[in-house]
A and B are shown apart, each in its own frame.
Chain A
Amino acid sequence: MELANNMEKLFEKLGDLKSFFVYGQKLIPTLQKILDFMQDTVPLLESVNKSIAESTSKIPKASHQLNSVSSATELATTEILDLVDGISNELNSIFSKTNEVKKNLNKQKELTSSLLAKYPDDKEIKDLLSLISDEELKLVDASSNKIQESIMNITIALQVQDITSQQLASVNHLINSIQEKLAGLLLDLNGKEREPDKPENKLDTIAFNENARYVKDNESQKLADSLIAETNGLTSQQEIDKLFSNKNE
């Protein structure tokens, strides 16, 4: 009886073994496929590694190019500001000359008027008086004022240079972060010690506001004005803190 039980257990185990081999036979092609895939993947990984190394080496160049853009626009803006200053100086001299001419005209008008008072029937004096007019000068003034307004608008528009420089610096900072990540990845893949950054490879040394925007809607200025107005009546820091803590909730 015991022998029969043992034999039964033995057949059960043999059955399990058979199932295992059958399963193994089914599994072998899958394992083979995995091995083939891994063999195919090795060159792919090498290619990824190479391309990461290439990208990492190109990033400083891209970053320097962005910095060059900022420097070039700053230089160009300075040149435009020089020209604007030149035009502004010329305008000021036009203003002062037209003022002199106006004064002279007024003097001429006064003298001619007093002559006319002495000789009221003199037609030539009357004609001369009618010719003395500062209408043309008023037109010159109006044109000069328009030019001055345009100069002011150019100056306002040139602030875009600072704002775009900050945006470029923000992009540079992002590029720098990506370079750091890629360099870390290379280190993991190659197992090499990373060389410390050379000072010339430091990508983002410019301070920036990543939210810098060139918008002329004045909304931010209005917000600042309203916050300042609210703090103006407050006398203690405690009151100001309380106001802002309520506002931040």
Chain B
Amino acid sequence: MALKFLVVDDSVTMRRIVLNSLKQIGHENFVEASDGRDALNKLNADETINFIITDWNMPDVSGLDLVKSVRANPKTANIPILMVTTRGMKEDIVEALNAKVNNYVVKPFTPQVLREKIEQIVSSVNV
């Protein structure tokens, strides 16, 4: 099944870089959101989204709150989530894993790392 990504980041630059990286590794199907609230609206409106790549630090609804909301909703609870963030402290990573992100990428990242993490997630869960 083809992956449809929801790329969530308040930084236009980072959204663009993530999208470019996705294109570089062969993924062309994606939707963008500028923060957690926008992402939840997009998820409600589009049931074909089956992969979320989200930043952590965003205004209003943060990436971590987004993860919690997605996991709490039975309709979206099983969508794989990859957190891509500048937060590289152990307690941050633990907090994200406790919120049930599937994998974690620390910025700055390379397209190879992104590909590796997406592949790890896809092979471990039924997308």
Contact = CB atoms under 8 A, between A and B. Distances in A.
Contacts, number: 109
Interface residues of A, number: 42
A223 interface: yes
A78 B57 contact: no
Contacts of B97: 227-228, 231, 240, 244
A196 to B, nearest CB: 21
A162 B87 contact: no
Contacts of B56: 209
A78 B13 CA distance: 6
A207 B57 contact: yes
Interface in B76-102: 85-91, 93-94, 97-98
B111 A159 contact: no
A156 interface: yes
Which of A206, A219, A221, A231 gathers the greatest number of chain B CB atoms within 10 Å? A221
A162 B86 contact: yes
B86 A163 contact: yes
Which DSSP category, helix, strand, loop or mixed, fits chain A's interface? helix
A224 B105 CA distance: 8
A84 B17 CA distance: 11
Interface of B: 9-14, 16-17, 20-21, 24, 56-59, 62, 85-91, 93-94, 97-98, 103-111, 113, 124
25 contacts: A74-B12, A78-B13, A155-B111, A159-B13, A159-B107, A159-B108, A160-B108, A162-B13, A162-B107, A166-B86, A205-B59, A206-B59, A207-B59, A208-B57, A209-B56, A211-B89, A212-B86, A212-B87, A212-B107, A220-B89, A221-B105, A223-B93, A240-B97, A244-B97, A247-B94
